[in-house]
Amino acid sequence: MTGDILKYLREKECVSGEVLAQKLGISRVAVWKQIQKLKDMEYKITSDQNLGYCLVSRPDLLLPQEIQRGLSTNYIGKEIFYFPELKSSNRMAKEKALHRAEGIGEGTLIIAERQSGGKGRLGRKWFSPAGGIWLSIILYPQLPPSYIPRITLVTAVAVVKAIKMCTQIKSQIKWPNDILINEKKVCGILTEMSAELDIINWVVVGIGINANIDHQKFPEDIQAKTVSLKEVSGKEILRVRFAQIFLQEFEKYYESLKRREFSSILKEWKLYFHTLGRKIRVDMGERIVTGEAVNINENGALILKKEDGELIKIISGTILK
Ligand code: BTN
């Protein structure tokens, strides 16, 4: 109902309570209550005796009705669960993904304005204050589990594209899941899943983008290696627009992946490959290996050339330097 009221206010800016009541088939008191709800969501609406209700400004919040308005995807973001505060959107998305049969469809989003227990890779904490974009996408791809690393790569390409389209800034991908600007992390991706031997039950892709966060707000231990889009571009970014562009790009690349057209995505990914040609150390969990990052293969694995010339494939790991 608040969505309908917004639609009329956006069309005309000012609409009388009487007209709204007529259009929506509700009483003027019910209209008033819906207006109060919108005000609670930080929409600025004035009421004038002659003009009626006037929409003065919209909030800078990632509200579903704001994101969905003008979103040109087919299914990504068609259903959005929005929270002013959440422990972790990935955690919530994983709970929801278990309820696929109850209508939690592919492309459902969980969005939080801030997270009290944001999760990073390898059990790390993810700093998630207001001003960032913290969202998780629920997917049910009919692909073999070996495709999971490719979903992270697809997401990374979509983020890089969205950053370029919204801010003109070039960013790079640090394999497998970090997006960097000038060597500093601006976004992290956390892909979680449930799979059996040969099928994927669900995938949750969590994306954390440091959008409008002031540098001094980052915890000291990560300040030197973290950056926000606002800082680099010198102005606040329109988070709703960013989210829309990202979701559109994501759906495009994810569709290609589902058609198993990965080579074109990989080609693009390599254009943004931060680590290519660098000498790095990779923590593979059971051991740390050193070598030159020479490629990414068709499965999304990092190919490292060790000092003795041996090439090794790393499916999962963390680059230390
Ligand atoms: C990393 O670089 O370690 C991955 C960070 C992923 C953070 C995002 S924010 C949205 C989603 N919810 C979470 O709790 N984590 C991911």
Q: In angstroms, rounded to a whole number, what is the distance separating the alpha carbons of residues 113 and 55?
A: 23
Q: In angstroms, rounded to a whole number, what is the distance separating the alpha carbons of residues 121 and 206?
A: 10
Residue 89 identity? S
Q: Which one of 128, 133, 210, 318 would you pick to mutate in the ligand 1 pocket, going by the greatest count of ligand atoms within 8 A of its CB?
A: 128
**Three-state SS at 121:** helix
Q: Quick one: which H or E segment has residue 92?
A: helix 89-97
Angle between helical axes of 28-40 and 2-12 (0-180°, round to 10) = 90
Q: In angstroms, rounded to a whole number, what is the distance separating the alpha carbons of residues 302 and 313?
A: 6
pLDDT for 244 beyond 90: yes
Mean pLDDT computed over 151-163: 97
Give the residue among 49, 47, 81 at the shortest CA–CA distance from 62: 81
Confidence of residue 102 (pLDDT cuts 50, 70, 90): confident
Residue 292: phi and psi, rounded to 5, are -100, 135
Q: Report whether residue 206 contacts ligand 1, using a CB cutoff of 6 Å.
A: yes
184 contacts 305 by C-beta, under 8 angstroms = no
Q: Report whether residue 208 contacts ligand 1, using a CB cutoff of 6 Å.
A: yes
pLDDT for 110 beyond 80: yes
Mean pLDDT computed over 254-267: 94
Mean pLDDT computed over 247-257: 97
Q: Report whether residue 188 contacts ligand 1, using a CB cutoff of 6 Å.
A: yes
Q: Tens of pLDDT along 2-13?
A: 888 888 888 887
- For the CA of 187, the closest atom of ligand 1 is 2
Alpha carbon distances (Å) from 100 to 107, 139, 141: 11, 10, 13
Q: What is the model's pLDDT at position 321?
A: 63
The chain-wide mean pLDDT, for the chain, equals 93
Mean pLDDT computed over 72-91: 97
Q: What is the residue with the minimal CA distance to atom 15 of ligand 1?
A: 119
Strands 44-48 and 109-115: unpaired
Separation of 106 CA from ligand 1 center, angstroms? 20
Give the residue among 238, 259, 145 at the shortest CA–CA distance from 198: 145
CA dihedral 96, 101, 103, 108 (to 10 degrees): 40
Q: Where are the alpha helices (DSSP H) in 125-174?
A: 148-167
Alpha carbon distances (Å) from 49 to 28, 37, 92, 138, 151: 14, 20, 44, 46, 54
Confidence of residue 159 (pLDDT cuts 50, 70, 90): very high
Tell me the whole-structure pTM to 2 decimals: 0.90
- Lowest-pLDDT range, 77-81, 100-104, 238-242, 293-297? 100-104
Q: What is the model's pLDDT at position 196?
A: 92
Residue 74: alpha-carbon gap to chain centroid:
17
Q: Report whether residue 118 contacts ligand 1, using a CB cutoff of 6 Å.
A: yes
List the helix and strand counts (H, then E) for the chain. Answer: 10, 15
Q: What is the model's pLDDT at position 1?
A: 78
